[in-house]
Amino acid sequence: MAPATPFSCSKQIAVAGGHARLVRPPACVLPRLRQRRPTRIFAASGNTATADSKANLRNLTYDLSEASASNGESQTKPIKVAVSGAAGQISNHLLFMLASGQVFGPNAPIILQLLGSERSINAIEGVSMELEDSLYPLLREIKMGIDPIEVFEDADWALLIGAKPRSKGMERADLLDVNGRVFAEQGRALNEVASRDVKVVVVGNPCNTNALIAMENAPDLPPKNFSALTRLDQNRARFQLAVKAGVPFDKVSRVAVWGNHSTTQVPDWVNARIGDTPASKVIDDEAWFKEDFTPKVATRGASVIQKWGRSSGASTAGSIADHVRSLIQPTPEGDCFSMAISTDGNPYGIADGLFYSMPCTSTGNGDYDIVPGFEVDEWLSSKMKASEEELIREKECVAHLIGLEGAACAITEDTMLPGEN
């Protein structure tokens, strides 16, 4: 096969019957797809996904062997990334970042495995159509459905974003139960069909406890492969410190977020650095740290909604990309990143058996280490304790989903982050 000629053609306007219309010259018809001999495989008959969980898998598969060989490309195994809640606000940004190579890099072909709910299956098909029409060279296959057993098959990464929003009048304890059941089912499915080294990132709220539930329901997978997203909180904290100090954000490092992804979260200014100096020395204003910075980070999502009328989909997607990249790229010397992880054996005295956000580093192999030796002063300690207590209460509310008996659910206070209900 002759090497493909670069695609360059412009749309022409023809006038037919008095109406202007856009015409593509024949040579311009989807050259990349033609070059790659696309084949569509429909698990269901016809070309429309249905709400039947067994029949709605649709694959779009590009056969790349011929094109790759003619271009001298090496055959890199695509990364299989399962995304739940694929028709939601966050995914609407994240899927395009994944397909364009912004997350796993420009040389990593990708297969997207999209999980939706029954209500969102049509919307997921719409999202896939947009992905198809974006002609991302790295996107090799889109698979979609509403049965996690089918959709999570062989997944290398599972980004669990989908969750039920809290309906009017619903208590936080009820939300823990409703979403807990979803994450228990998804944990079992990952245990059964995902890659044995799948990395699971839980975003759907309450994400710390949902991550615990997913992990407990996947006993054959390494607990260290599960984490929950607090990177948005870290990014928000980093930005606030940069603005206050009047420096570019890349001068701000060692920003830990401790605890739960809720209003009890603890963005850590005690250990943060601006350049080589402790942030508290550059910003010599303890009252600002305690009374302004901390609540500002926790209520940032509400501020976005107030101004813009919609929740923080794009910045959350960006923070999920940061979270993944932090696990597959070495952490810069002296820095850390935050995510909620299993507390078993942690060096900060947090009770075992929870998912709690802590400062981590990675060598870039997908694994992480907790950074030891962060200073925990009295103020930080009392805040960290309150967040730990809250996670223990949350765990009691989902005891029935993680094989524990005899716990009573006694959550009264609402600590959902405003803007993420």
Ligand X SMILES: NC(=O)c1ccc[n+]([C@@H]2O[C@H](COP(=O)([O-])OP(=O)(O)OC[C@H]3O[C@@H](n4cnc5c(N)ncnc54)[C@H](O)[C@@H]3O)[C@@H](O)[C@H]2O)c1
Question: Do 187 and 213 contact (CB within 8 A), yes or no?
Answer: yes
Residue 318 makes contact with ligand X by CB under 6 A: no
Say which of 19, 93, 261, 400 is annotated catalytic: 261
- What is the closest distance, in whole angstroms, from the C-beta atom of residue 277 to ligand X in the complex? 29
Amino acid at 2: A
Q: Indicate which single residue of 128, 191, 205, 342 sits in contact with ligand X (rule: CB under 6 A).
A: 205
Residue 316 makes contact with ligand X by CB under 6 A: yes
Task: Single out the segment in contact with ligand X by CB under 6 A; choices: 13-21, 83-91, 241-249, 289-297.
Answer: 83-91
By CB under 6 A, the residues from 174 to 203 that bind ligand X are 182, 203
Percentages (nearest 5) of helix, strand, coil residues in the chain: 40, 20, 45
Binding pattern to ligand X, positions 119-138, x when CB under 6 A?
xx------------------
Q: Indicate which single residue of 204, 267, 318, 359 sits in contact with ligand X (rule: CB under 6 A).
A: 204
Measured CA to CA, the distance from residue 305 to residue 302 in angstroms comes to: 5
List, in order, residues 6 or more apart from 418 with CB less than 8 Å away: 263, 299, 301, 302, 305
Nearest residue to ligand X by CB is 88
Q: Which of 372, 366, 367, 324 is nearest to 345 (CA)?
A: 372
Residue 359 makes contact with ligand X by CB under 6 A: no
Measured CA to CA, the distance from residue 200 to residue 245 in angstroms comes to: 35
Token pair of 233, please?
């909180």
Measured CA to CA, the distance from residue 369 to residue 360 in angstroms comes to: 5
- What is the closest distance, in whole angstroms, from the C-beta atom of residue 343 to ligand X in the complex? 18
Residue 89 makes contact with ligand X by CB under 6 A: yes
Q: Which of 144, 135, 134 is nearest to 112 (CA)?
A: 144
Amino acid at 278: P
- What is the closest distance, in whole angstroms, from the C-beta atom of residue 149 to ligand X in the complex? 12
Q: Indicate which single residue of 57, 155, 163, 401 sits in contact with ligand X (rule: CB under 6 A).
A: 163
Question: Does the annotation count 261 as an active-site position?
Answer: yes
Residue 280 or residue 303: which is nearer to ligand X going by CB?
A: 303
Q: What does DSSP assign to residue 253?
A: E
CA angle 384, 389, 390 (to 5 degrees): 100
Q: Indicate which single residue of 78, 162, 180, 267 sits in contact with ligand X (rule: CB under 6 A).
A: 162
**3-state SS record for 299-335:** CHHHHHHHHHCCCCHHHHHHHHHHHHHHHHCCCCCCC
Question: Do 394 and 407 contact (CB within 8 A), yes or no?
Answer: no
By CB under 6 A, the residues from 231 to 260 that bind ligand X are 232
Q: Indicate which single residue of 115, 189, 190, 201 sits in contact with ligand X (rule: CB under 6 A).
A: 115
Residue 87 makes contact with ligand X by CB under 6 A: yes
- What is the closest distance, in whole angstroms, from the C-beta atom of residue 234 to ligand X in the complex? 10
Token pair of 190, please?
């990952």
Q: Indicate which single residue of 62, 64, 85, 140 sits in contact with ligand X (rule: CB under 6 A).
A: 85
Active site residues: 261
Q: Which residues bind ligand X (CB under 6 A)?
A: 84-85, 87-90, 115-117, 119-120, 161-165, 182, 203-205, 207, 229, 232, 261, 311, 313, 316, 420
